């Protein structure tokens, strides 16, 4: 019987993996639970949606990443309930059975998922971009829309197929819109006979007054200008009133479109709803200065599932991987401190910068007091992302894929999978199992 304290980590994203690693020498046993078998390199997910990379290029088995962390078990399963008082989780396991898993410490790192700001019916028409299934579904819709337009002679139907609407002007929306314009332009021009690249329309809708609101204003203007050069129509102050299978309504205007990408709404995993602790508007757990849940010092929440209101400048932390990584290491230290009966500390975020890419060879980056644009920012972006991609093979594959598509203007993963043939949202989307931890 193993008498070491049991630390359960829910979620195998950046925070969960890092927490398990940071606990490798602590006198505890660790179980990491995730409902998928893979860690996903989220920053490159848009590349899968745009047929530039394969799913396996940006995902590695959690069990493999942690195979040399000897005090850690990996469990494939979905956490369906958390009993904070009883210190146990209900887990729906891969063998089809459910069981209670007891814990001494709990680290919630289940991340975020697509949310619809109270308009869940929009999920039937648009696709978010938070997991591999969504990325592959976007890829399918984009490629099928091109194919359908090639055979379509009716002008209205053709316009709807060749209009692509991206909602949300943050980094994800900017990246998707830029990549979509490039994908369409080169692929349509080269491989299609009856669709001209000029017929493609990519519309990026942002509700606020500028793109990339978390970046300096100069970079927002640069991003809008670069996207314009790629042929993207950027519309600021555009409030979406409805999303339907035939298109998007912006105020009174109707934009016909078969393919709508939703990059506007992200909320915490639905797990938080049952905890009985205070949440913010996005469903995130409002944590104490030591990242624990108020009244439950042995339970922590890190990364996108947590709201941390205790920053020095009072501004919320961004939903990026460095926050999750730093919180993971901090929380591992607090658990070790508890076991040594030492006092806990207070989490402080060290901001190392942020960046977003805008198509081939252009990006924006903020590092400390410095803001960069253009090719240099893009090379920094490339280097950072390749460096942090987990696993040697993935890094090499991604580099080769990119070099190949950069020099040939080609796309390696233009694959329509699944047995559905028709353009637009299928009747079976979203799938019955919602994304979870």
Stretch of 112-120, 186-194, 229-237, 328-336 lying at the interface with a copy of itself (CB under 8 A)? 186-194
Min dist. Cβ of residue 34 to a copy of itself (A) = 10
Position 144 contacts a copy of itself (CB under 8 A): yes
CB 28 within 8 A of CB 338: no
Dihedral sign for Cα atoms in the order 103, 106, 111, 117: positive
Query: For residue 149, what is the enclosing H or E element?
Result: helix 132-151
- Which tokens sit at 50? 């745009």
Position 137 contacts a copy of itself (CB under 8 A): no
Position 95 contacts a copy of itself (CB under 8 A): yes
Pick from 377, 397, 402, 425 the residue near a copy of itself by CB under 8 A.
Answer: 397
Min dist. Cβ of residue 16 to a copy of itself (A) = 16
Position 196 contacts a copy of itself (CB under 8 A): no
Position 76 contacts a copy of itself (CB under 8 A): yes
In 3-state terms, what secondary structure has residue 298?
strand
- Which tokens sit at 345? 């500390």
Pick from 11, 12, 43, 77 the residue near a copy of itself by CB under 8 A.
Answer: 77
Pick from 157, 275, 337, 367 the residue near a copy of itself by CB under 8 A.
Answer: 157
Pick from 84, 88, 119, 147 the residue near a copy of itself by CB under 8 A.
Answer: 147
- Which tokens sit at 160? 């709807």
**199 assigned to active site:** no
Position 161 contacts a copy of itself (CB under 8 A): yes
Stretch of 50-58, 224-232, 266-274, 320-328 lying at the interface with a copy of itself (CB under 8 A)? 50-58
Alpha-carbon distance of 364 to 182, in angstroms, equals 18
Min dist. Cβ of residue 116 to a copy of itself (A) = 18
Stretch of 16-24, 118-126, 377-385, 389-397 lying at the interface with a copy of itself (CB under 8 A)? 389-397
Position 312 contacts a copy of itself (CB under 8 A): no
Alpha-carbon distance of 277 to 384, in angstroms, equals 37
Pick from 90, 133, 246, 338 the residue near a copy of itself by CB under 8 A.
Answer: 133
CB 14 within 8 A of CB 110: no
Which CB, 239 or 400, lies closer to a copy of itself?
400
* C-alpha triplet 182, 184, 187: angle, nearest 5°: 100
Min dist. Cβ of residue 150 to a copy of itself (A) = 8
Q: Which DSSP symbol is given to 44?
A: G
Query: For residue 171, what is the enclosing H or E element?
Result: helix 171-191
Total binding residues toward a copy of itself, as defined by CB under 8 A: 67
Pick from 38, 113, 130, 385 the residue near a copy of itself by CB under 8 A.
Answer: 38
Alpha-carbon distance of 268 to 254, in angstroms, equals 31
Catalytic residue among 18, 134, 175, 206: 175
Q: Which residues bind a copy of itself (CB under 8 A)?
A: 35-38, 54-57, 59, 61, 63-64, 67, 73-78, 92-96, 132-133, 136, 143-144, 147-152, 157, 161, 190-194, 392-393, 396-397, 400-401, 404, 410, 412-424, 431-433, 435
Catalytic residues: 175
């Amino acid at each position: 019987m193993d008498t070491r304290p049991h630390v359960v980590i829910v979620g195998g994203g950046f925070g969960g993996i890092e927490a398990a690693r940071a606990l490798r020498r602590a006198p505890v046993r660790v179980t990491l639970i995730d409902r998928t078998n893979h860690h996903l390199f989220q920053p490159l997910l848009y590349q899968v949606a745009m047929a530039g990379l394969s799913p396996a290029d940006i995902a590695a088995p959690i069990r493999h990443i942690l195979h040399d962390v000897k005090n850690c078990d990996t469990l494939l399963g979905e956490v369906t309930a958390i009993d904070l008082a009883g210190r146990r989780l209900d887990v729906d396991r891969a063998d089809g059975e459910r069981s209670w898993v007891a814990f001494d410490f709990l680290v919630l790192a289940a991340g975020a998922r697509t949310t619809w700001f109270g308009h869940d019916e929009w999920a039937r028409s648009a696709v978010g971009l938070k997991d591999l299934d969504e990325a592959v579904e976007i890829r399918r819709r984009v490629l099928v829309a091109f194919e359908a337009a090639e055979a379509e002679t009716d002008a209205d139907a053709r316009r709807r197929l060749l209009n692509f609407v991206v909602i949300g002007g943050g980094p994800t929306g900017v990246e998707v819109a830029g990549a979509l314009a490039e994908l369409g332009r080169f692929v349509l021009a080269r491989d299609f006979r009856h669709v001209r690249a000029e017929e493609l329309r990519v519309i990026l809708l942002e509700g606020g007054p500028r793109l990339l609101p978390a970046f300096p204003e100069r970079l927002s203007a640069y991003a809008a200008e670069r996207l314009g050069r790629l042929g993207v129509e950027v519309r600021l102050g555009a409030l979406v009133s409805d999303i339907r299978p035939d298109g998007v309504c912006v105020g009174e205007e109707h934009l016909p479109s078969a393919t709508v990408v939703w990059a506007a709404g992200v909320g915490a995993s639905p797990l938080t709803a049952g905890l009985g602790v205070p949440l913010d508007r996005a469903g995130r757990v409002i944590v104490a200065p030591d990242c624990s849940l108020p009244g439950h010092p042995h339970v922590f929440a890190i990364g996108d599932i947590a709201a941390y209101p205790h920053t020095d400048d009072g501004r919320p932390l961004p939903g990026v991987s460095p926050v999750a990584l730093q919180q993971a290491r901090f929380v591992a230290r607090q658990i070790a401190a508890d076991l040594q009966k030492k006092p806990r500390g207070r989490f402080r975020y060290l901001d190392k910068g942020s960046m977003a890419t805008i198509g081939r060879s252009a990006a924006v980056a903020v590092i400390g007091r410095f803001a960069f644009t253009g090719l240099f920012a893009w090379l920094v972006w490339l280097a950072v992302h390749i460096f942090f991609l987990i696993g040697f093979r993935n890094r090499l594959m991604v580099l080769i894929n990119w070099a190949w598509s950069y020099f040939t203007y080609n796309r390696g993963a233009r694959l329509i999978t699944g047995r559905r043939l028709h353009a637009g949202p299928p009747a079976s989307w979203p799938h019955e199992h919602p994304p979870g931890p």
